[in-house]
Amino acid sequence: MSQHLLLPLVILAPSPTQEEPEDLDCGRSEPSARIMGGSDAQAGTWPWQVSLSQKGNHICGGSLIAPSWVLSAAHCFVKNGTLDPAAEWSVLLGVHSQDWPLDDAQVRAVAAILVPDNYSRVELGADLALLRLASPARLGPAVRPVCLPRSSHRFAPGTACWATGWGDVQEADPLPLPWVLQEVELRLLGEAACQCLYSRPGPFNLTFQLLPGMLCAGYREGRRDTCQGDSGGPLVCEEGSRWFQAGITSFGFGCGRRNRPGVFTAVASYEAWIREQVMGSEPGPAFPTQSRQPQSGPREAPDENCTIALPECGKATRPGAWPWEAQVMVPGSRPCHGALVSESWVLAPASCFLDSDRSPRYLDNWRVLLPSRPRAEQVARLVPHENASWDDASDLALLQLRVPVNLSVAPRPVCLPQPEHYFLPGSRCRLGRWGRGGEQGPGAERGGVAEGPTPPQRGFAPSSFSEPAPRPSTLLEAELLGGWWCHCLYGRQGASVPPPRDPPHALCPAYQEEEEEAGGCWNDSSWSLLCREEGTWFLAGIRNLSSGCLRPRAFFPLQTHGPWISHVTRGAYLEDQLAWDWGPEGEETKIQSCPPATEHGACGLRPEPAPMGVLWPWLAEVHVAGDQVCTGILVAPGWVLAATHCVLRRGSTTVPYIEVYLGRAGASPLPQGHPVSRLVISIRLPRHLGLQPPLALLELSSRVKPSPSALPICLHPGGIPLGASCWVLGWKDPQDRVPVAAAVSILTPRLCHCLYQGILPPGTLCVLYAEGQEDRCEVTSAPPLLCQTEGGSWVLVGLAVRGSRELFAAIGPEEAWISQTVEEAHFLPPSGSSYWPPEGSDLCPPDTARASGTPRAAVFLLLLTSLIQG
Ligand SMILES: *[C@@H]1O[C@H](CO)[C@@H](O)[C@H](O)[C@H]1NC(C)=O
Ligand SMILES: *[C@@H]1O[C@H](CO)[C@@H](O)[C@H](O)[C@H]1NC(C)=O
Ligand SMILES: *[C@@H]1O[C@H](CO)[C@@H](O)[C@H](O)[C@H]1NC(C)=O
Ligand SMILES: *[C@@H]1O[C@H](CO)[C@@H](O)[C@H](O)[C@H]1NC(C)=O
Ligand SMILES: *[C@@H]1O[C@H](CO)[C@@H](O)[C@H](O)[C@H]1NC(C)=O
Ligand SMILES: *[C@@H]1O[C@H](CO)[C@@H](O)[C@H](O)[C@H]1NC(C)=O
Ligand SMILES: *[C@@H]1O[C@H](CO)[C@@H](O)[C@H](O)[C@H]1NC(C)=O
Ligand SMILES: *[C@@H]1O[C@H](CO)[C@@H](O)[C@H](O)[C@H]1NC(C)=O
């Protein structure tokens, strides 16, 4: 809004023609003049607006209703159930800009603050306060009272009213200097229409019950609203030639969010309370009669209709045809891919421009290509993120277009997440182009468009860009992995995982990549991560170049940059979370921390939810000589542990042809799985005297990269991890090889020894299956025994001995051999590793050997006799 000089003063005349004896003329402002999304007000337009300061700082707004009375909101003065002392507060009247020398302003001390007895919290209503000034204000053109509505006064829904204040211009974005009073036009919303909006879960999944004495004003689509610091200020509506205060700014859910209009205290409801408080003051506030009742009728009805606003951003006709895709053309360099985030702003990596001469002269030659635009857009301004040069996570710049574009199907901005956004694990995502990369990315090899490095000239031939060739690369599908997996994969041992609503450190999507041998490390590619909620696309992350060869790739979350982007752009489409369907037992209730890590990432992490059906990333299929198939366990990127009897024929010393598959879940793998196969180039056995050692290490022809379908397990040095729960993991059928896990408990060595007297090699573990679980796994493939520790990571405890479901060769005794052979194998620290009690005599009660029936019955008997013996 343009600034004008002060308009001629209007002399106040007494108004003897009033129908009722009113001792005060109210609600008059400069005759010519006719926050968030608002604009500078003209001086003198809102002469009742006051600023309320506590110890010298502007805290709230208020309105002058009589020379000695100011109306404001209770919550400005009541903290933690206690009313502030009036002496801490002062009232500034007749100010426009709070920065200028406040020569014309009047300052008044506060003699008393009055708050309704039953005010407790804003959301329970009665959020109003009266301030009695220590001395009356001098009325004049810049200081005048507003009219108050009587309790019978009705403001029609749909009426355009105005809210004013010096509050934040956006969430967490204070009004900049020179602190000029802001005004914003807000439409009154009917009670039913407002309740309809607040009944739908919004930010933080909150719903809200509107109470009598509250009113709503704003817009379904949001974007224009009051915000922090506006509280207590007036919402005024013009009737006849007077301004009536319909509301007191009370609260909102965020500021300017979609379907979350501002909530105001309905002043009319509190006529009686106000009159009672000011009784005896001369002159008191004016409550003129309403000149005419608002017309009810067709204008009002649609407002009571329960319609909600849908997001204006993030809609794409089909994935990959991104209507926000922007290409920034800088003379002398390859095009840089970014995203349209508002009518006027494009977000792109700052690294595209850091080496450019950024003087405005150069920007003249820059162009931005947007979908469905006939011409390339000119660039007015480049705003790099202040930390872009040293922080990869802040490698962002905003480019302002010289002329805002009309938003339609295309171009259309992408939605940006609020800082507290929690992308649910399992969210459907895609990779989008970002920055200058692409040629060496995973998709480009499948026929992505290659932009030439030819520097664009002034006056492009638009036709060469308006019909982009199909880009299969931008269709790369991805599924978001759980925060725990993502946070811990990169090895922050013991670190606690940020809970939902705290910005994550990284976002990990699982996606199908080129077979790894083809592309090598993916370090030169630049991609953004787009995630969909309720059909709306969010720009969720940008690539983390430093994540090296680890998979899944980590993306820097964009949500931490929401405040910066909205501060610069004043109108980027920050959108609330749209999907909330995680259960009460969900991830948010657990405090999670990371397991120990190797330098190649953490071990024993199982992605949750299981991406694309691969549940056990360390479970390998070991195909021996094209014939037998055994289970194997990935213990390091180049090593699989298997049962010797499975991979070597008894007495044989020749290494058979062995192939290992990871990332398979059954003989008919899931279409989106990412199977990895390797040949075995050597078999290592520990040196045991006499007996064939039970465990064999298989060396793979090349390392596998950590991924949700291939990640090493942790190993346990002995005993059983404290508090762990254990499973035998195998196949029910060696033909279809669908993994099944059977819950077991591990018996103490003594019980084990008694049960299988005399027949066990040292270091053998025995397990007891949970009821009905015995038959879940077949035995010929030598299923492994796994436990999940209290910390959540999975450890390998043993491998089944030949032909047994209950007996397992323990990993612990082979720790030295495994560690020597496979440096990267990760044994958990032994601390607290065993709950086995010290063993007393090795006297076994009679009749506990296998002969006495099923092992279950034998164990029961054994436990019983142990108890009896004390
Ligand atoms: C708020 O009140 C509670 C109990 O009345 C008290 O424990 C707490 O310290 C108070 N907080 C502040 C900030 O005054
Ligand atoms: C406060 O009391 C007044 C008068 O008794 C009543 O009209 C109003 O509804 C009450 N408000 C709340 C929030 O309890
Ligand atoms: C969100 O709110 C809906 C309806 O109130 C409820 O059913 C759902 O459980 C809530 N979700 C969460 C995560 O609180
Ligand atoms: C509510 O909106 C729908 C669609 O806009 C319209 O068909 C219907 O007549 C409206 N109802 C009322 C009561 O205005
Ligand atoms: C830049 O980095 C500093 C130091 O880490 C941080 O305090 C500041 O908030 C960052 N700036 C932005 C815009 O994020
Ligand atoms: C935007 O659309 C409006 C009307 O829909 C039109 O008047 C205006 O010229 C358009 N502006 C641009 C820059 O295309
Ligand atoms: C990836 O990065 C590594 C180390 O930064 C480098 O040695 C390697 O050549 C890069 N690979 C490609 C394909 O750019
Ligand atoms: C991302 O990059 C930073 C350095 O910029 C690095 O410290 C970090 O480990 C990388 N990975 C994740 C998951 O943040």
Chain centre to alpha carbon of residue 834: 39
Q: What's the CA-to-centroid distance between 80 and ligand 1, angstroms?
A: 6
> What per-residue confidence (pLDDT) applies to 357?
61
Q: What's the CA-to-centroid distance between 407 and ligand 6, angstroms?
A: 9
Q: Are residues 367 and 270 in the same domain?
A: no
> What per-residue confidence (pLDDT) applies to 387?
94
Q: In sequence order, which residues have a C-beta less than 8 Å from that of residue 247 and are 6 or more positions away? A: 161, 163, 215, 217, 234, 235, 264, 265, 266, 267
Question: Buried b / exposed e across 193-228, counting CB within 10 Å, b at 16+?
Answer: bbbbbbeeebbeeeebebeebbbbbbbbebbbbbbb
Of residues 281 and 612, the one with the higher pLDDT is 281
Q: What percent of the chain has pLDDT over 70?
A: 75
> What per-residue confidence (pLDDT) applies to 477?
77
Tokens 């890590």 correspond to 597
**pLDDT tens digits for 437-452?**
544 333 332 222 333 3
Q: Are residues 518 and 373 in the same domain?
A: yes
> What per-residue confidence (pLDDT) applies to 74?
97
Tell me which of 370, 406, 408, 412 to substitute to probe ligand 6's pocket, judged by most ligand atoms within 8 Å of the beta carbon.
Answer: 406
Q: Are residues 542 and 644 in the same domain?
A: no
Q: Are residues 530 and 632 in the same domain?
A: no
> What per-residue confidence (pLDDT) applies to 750?
77
Ranges 117-131, 489-503, 838-852, most confident:
117-131
**What pLDDT band is residue 660 in, cutting at 50, 70 and 90?**
very high
Residue of 66, 61, 81 lying closest to 25 (CA atoms): 66
Among the atoms of ligand 6, which is closest to the Cα of residue 403? 13
Q: Are residues 695 and 634 in the same domain?
A: yes
> What per-residue confidence (pLDDT) applies to 592?
64
Residue 860 located in a structural domain: no
Q: Is 231 a known active-site residue?
A: yes
The parent domain of residue 789 ranges over 619-821
Q: Whose CA is nearest to atom 2 of ligand 7?
A: 523
Chain centre to alpha carbon of residue 487: 14
216 vs 126, 264, 530, CA distance in Å? Answer: 15, 6, 34
Query: What is the distance between the alpha carbons of residues 154 and 597, in angstroms, rounded to a whole number?
Result: 66
Q: What's the CA-to-centroid distance between 548 and ligand 8, angstroms?
A: 9
Alpha helix locations (H) across 501-584?
516-519, 562-569
Which residue of the set 29, 51, 63, 231 is catalytic?
231
Burial class of residue 187 in the structure, from the number of CB atoms within 10 Å of its CB (0-12 exposed, 13-18 middle, 19+ buried): middle
State the average pLDDT over residues 658-668: 76
Q: Where is the domain boundary, 780, 804, 821?
A: 821
The mean pLDDT value of the chain amounts to: 80
Give me the CATH number covering residue 335: 2.40.10.10
pLDDT value at 36 more than 60: yes
> What per-residue confidence (pLDDT) applies to 678?
92
pLDDT value at 520 more than 50: no
**What pLDDT band is residue 549 in, cutting at 50, 70 and 90?**
low
pLDDT value at 169 more than 50: yes
Q: Whose CA is nearest to atom 2 of ligand 3?
A: 205
Of residues 456 and 369, the one with the higher pLDDT is 369
Q: Whose CA is nearest to atom 4 of ligand 6?
A: 406
Q: What's the CA-to-centroid distance between 166 and ligand 2, angstroms?
A: 29
pLDDT value at 590 more than 80: no
Residue 706 located in a structural domain: yes
Q: Whose CA is nearest to atom 2 of ligand 6?
A: 406
Among the atoms of ligand 8, which is closest to the Cα of residue 556? 14
Q: In sequence order, which residues have a C-beta less than 8 Å from that of residue 553 and are 6 or more positions away? A: 508, 509, 522, 543, 544, 547
Q: Are residues 128 and 194 in the same domain?
A: yes
The pair phi, psi for residue 855, each rounded to 5°, is -55, -35
Lowest-confidence segment of 385-394, 462-471, 473-482 by average pLDDT: 462-471
> What per-residue confidence (pLDDT) applies to 687?
82
pLDDT value at 236 more than 80: yes
Q: Are residues 417 and 360 in the same domain?
A: yes
Lowest-confidence segment of 340-354, 465-479, 689-703 by average pLDDT: 465-479
**What pLDDT band is residue 394 in, cutting at 50, 70 and 90?**
very high
State the average pLDDT over residues 664-680: 66
Q: Where is the domain boundary, 520, 541, 575?
A: 575
Of residues 830 and 459, the one with the higher pLDDT is 830
Lowest-confidence segment of 108-117, 510-519, 624-633 by average pLDDT: 510-519
**What pLDDT band is residue 237 in, cutting at 50, 70 and 90?**
very high
State the average pLDDT over residues 775-789: 86
Q: Are residues 61 and 197 in the same domain?
A: yes
Residue 14 located in a structural domain: no
Residue 848 located in a structural domain: no
Q: Is 406 in the pocket of ligand 6 (CB under 6 A)?
A: yes
For 240, left (φ over 0), alpha (ψ -120 to 50), or beta?
left
> What per-residue confidence (pLDDT) applies to 558?
96
**What pLDDT band is residue 634 in, cutting at 50, 70 and 90?**
very high
pLDDT value at 601 more than 70: no
Q: Whose CA is nearest to atom 5 of ligand 5?
A: 387
Residue of 26, 32, 47, 50 lying closest to 140 (CA atoms): 47
Q: What's the CA-to-centroid distance between 465 and ligand 6, angstroms?
A: 22
Ranges 591-600, 649-658, 678-687, most confident:
678-687
Residue 667 located in a structural domain: yes
Q: Is 118 in the pocket of ligand 2 (CB under 6 A)?
A: yes
**What pLDDT band is residue 628 in, cutting at 50, 70 and 90?**
confident
Query: What is the distance between the alpha carbons of residues 278 and 23, in angstroms, rounded to a whole number?
Result: 14
Q: Whose CA is nearest to atom 6 of ligand 5?
A: 387
> What per-residue confidence (pLDDT) applies to 304?
57
Helix (H) or strand (E) holding 237: strand 234-239
Q: Is 490 in the pocket of ligand 8 (CB under 6 A)?
A: yes
pLDDT value at 289 more than 50: yes
Query: What is the distance between the alpha carbons of residues 739 and 664, in angstroms, rounded to a whole number?
Result: 9
pLDDT value at 575 more than 80: yes
> What per-residue confidence (pLDDT) applies to 14?
33
Q: What's the CA-to-centroid distance between 387 and ligand 5, angstroms?
A: 6
Q: DSSP string covering 272-320, please?
A: HHHHHHHTT-SS----PPPSSPPPPSTTTGGGGS---PPPSS---SSTT
Instruction: Please name which ligand lies nearest the alpha carbon of 523.
Output: 7
Q: Is 600 a known active-site residue?
A: no
CB 335 within 8 A of CB 451: yes
Q: What's the CA-to-centroid distance between 167 and ligand 4, angstroms?
A: 36
pLDDT value at 674 more than 50: yes
Q: How many domains does the chain have?
A: 3
pLDDT value at 5 more than 50: no
Q: Are residues 269 and 338 in the same domain?
A: no
> What per-residue confidence (pLDDT) applies to 444?
32
Q: What letter would DSSP give residue 217?
A: E
Lowest-confidence segment of 511-520, 572-581, 686-695, 778-787 by average pLDDT: 511-520
Q: What's the CA-to-centroid distance between 834 and ligand 3, angstroms?
A: 42
For 817-824, the CB contacts below 8 A with 24+ separation are: 817/686, 818/635, 818/641, 818/695, 818/697, 818/715, 821/639, 821/684, 821/697, 822/635, 822/636, 822/638, 822/639, 822/697, 823/636, 824/598, 824/599, 824/600, 824/636, 824/637, 824/638, 824/639, 824/712
pLDDT value at 496 more than 50: yes
Q: Are residues 628 and 495 in the same domain?
A: no
The pair phi, psi for residue 690, each rounded to 5°, is 80, -90
**What pLDDT band is residue 406 in, cutting at 50, 70 and 90?**
very high
Of residues 593 and 465, the one with the higher pLDDT is 593
Residue 705 located in a structural domain: yes
Which residue of the set 51, 90, 96, 127 is catalytic?
127
**What pLDDT band is residue 556 in, cutting at 50, 70 and 90?**
very high
Lowest-confidence segment of 54-63, 571-580, 608-617 by average pLDDT: 608-617
Residue 589 located in a structural domain: no
Q: What percent of the chain has pLDDT over 90?
A: 41
**pLDDT tens digits for 641-652?**
999 988 887 666
Instruction: Please name which ligand lies nearest the alpha carbon of 270.
Output: 2
The terminus-to-terminus CA distance of the chain in angstroms comes to 89
Q: Are residues 263 and 401 in the same domain?
A: no
Instruction: Please name which ligand lies nearest the alpha carbon of 81.
Output: 1
List, chain by chain if needed, residues with CB within 6 Å of any ligand 7 atom: 520-521, 523-524
Residue of 798, 769, 776 lying closest to 786 (CA atoms): 798
Residue 63 located in a structural domain: yes
Tell me which of 508, 544, 545, 555 to substitute to probe ligand 8's pocket, judged by most ligand atoms within 8 Å of the beta carbon.
Answer: 544
Q: Where is the domain boundary, 216, 251, 278?
A: 278
pLDDT value at 751 more than 60: yes
> What per-residue confidence (pLDDT) applies to 278?
95
Q: Are residues 252 and 146 in the same domain?
A: yes
Among the atoms of ligand 2, which is closest to the Cα of residue 116? 1
List, chain by chain if needed, residues with CB within 6 Å of any ligand 3 atom: 201, 205, 207, 580, 582
pLDDT value at 354 more than 70: yes
> What per-residue confidence (pLDDT) applies to 380?
94
Tell me which of 304, 305, 307 to substitute to probe ligand 4's pocket, judged by most ligand atoms within 8 Å of the beta carbon.
Answer: 305
Cis geometry, peptide bond prior to residue 552 (ω within 30 degrees of 0): yes
Q: Is 554 in the pocket of ligand 8 (CB under 6 A)?
A: yes
Q: Whose CA is nearest to atom 13 of ligand 4?
A: 305
CB count, 10 Å around CB of 832? 12
> What per-residue confidence (pLDDT) applies to 847?
53
List, chain by chain if needed, residues with CB within 6 Å of any ligand 5 atom: 386-387, 564
**What pLDDT band is residue 100 in, cutting at 50, 70 and 90?**
low
Q: What is the pTM of this model?
A: 0.74
Instruction: Please name which ligand lies nearest the alpha carbon of 265.
Output: 2
Among the atoms of ligand 5, which is closest to the Cα of residue 561? 14
**pLDDT tens digits for 107-139?**
999 999 999 999 999 999 999 999 999 999 999
Q: Whose CA is nearest to atom 11 of ligand 4?
A: 305
